[in-house]
Amino acid sequence: MTLTVQPDTLAWGNESRTMMIAQVSSTGAAPFAPVHLCENDPVAAYAAIWTAATATPPAYGAILDYTPAAPVPPATSIPPMPPLTPPAPVVATPMPIDWAAVCALHIAQIYTVNGVNVRSSMNVWAAAVALTPPAQWSADDAVCAAMTPQLNSWEGNCFLERDRCAALPGATLASANWPAVPAGAMAFIASCAQG
């Protein structure tokens, strides 16, 4: 293979000058293409170019100094990550208060003695007292006759507070203002539990 070297185009291919770049043509005319060659190149035609280029005087003109290739910029640049935005806090919607259930529980707690609700026992006793002439009442019967309507009125006031809280936006269990139990009612309720 016979190659034609373009004069004054040879350059060292590295800083240690163990490689050379030459512009060559296999037809003796343009176009010329760059080839990399070295001393004792396995391609005989390249080895011959090296020998002639490094002879004194050089056959193809002075060999240009090695010029490092310019760094190749990245094909695409990765844009910076946008700042992380923390998710908005989840605001839990409070469950609506079932004021009817709260009121019923409040009343039931007053009538509960040793885990037993004595409201029905009080009703039975009050009905019996109502059917008995006052002259035949015992002292306990008299207390029952006096206390039962007071407790009925107290329950009515509890219902009013229930309705007030249910209609009041933002009412809480702590803001409920349950009416006070009538004086002596707790002792009477305890006696209902005794039969």
Q: Which pLDDT tens digits describe the chain residue by residue (195 residues)?
A: 677 888 888 888 888 888 888 888 877 777 888 888 888 888 888 888 888 888 888 888 888 888 887 776 666 667 787 888 888 888 777 788 999 999 999 999 999 999 899 988 898 999 999 999 999 999 999 999 999 999 999 999 999 999 999 999 888 999 999 999 999 999 999 998 876
Q: What is the reported pLDDT for 142?
A: 93
Compute φ and ψ for 12, nearest 5 degrees.
Answer: -70, 140
Output the pLDDT for position 76: 67
pLDDT of residue 137: 92
Task: Please give the pLDDT value at position 33.
Answer: 86
Place of tokens 């008995």: 132
pLDDT reported for residue 159: 95
Residue 17 in tokens: 């000058």
Helices (H) and strands (E) in the chain, counts: 5, 6
pLDDT at 72: 65
Query: What is the distance, to the nearest Å, from the Cα of residue 71 to the centroid of all Cα atoms in its chain?
Result: 44
3-state secondary structure of 159: helix
Distance between CA 111 and CA 189 in Å, rounded?
6
Q: Coil, strand or helix: which one is 70?
A: coil
Kindly list the domain boundaries of the chain, sorted by start residue: 4-53, 99-193
Residue for token pair 């291919």: 13
- Contact between residue 145 and residue 129 where contact means Cβ atoms under 8 Å apart: yes
What sections of the chain are H helices per DSSP? Answer: 44-53, 99-111, 119-130, 139-167, 185-193
pTM for the structure as a whole: 0.52
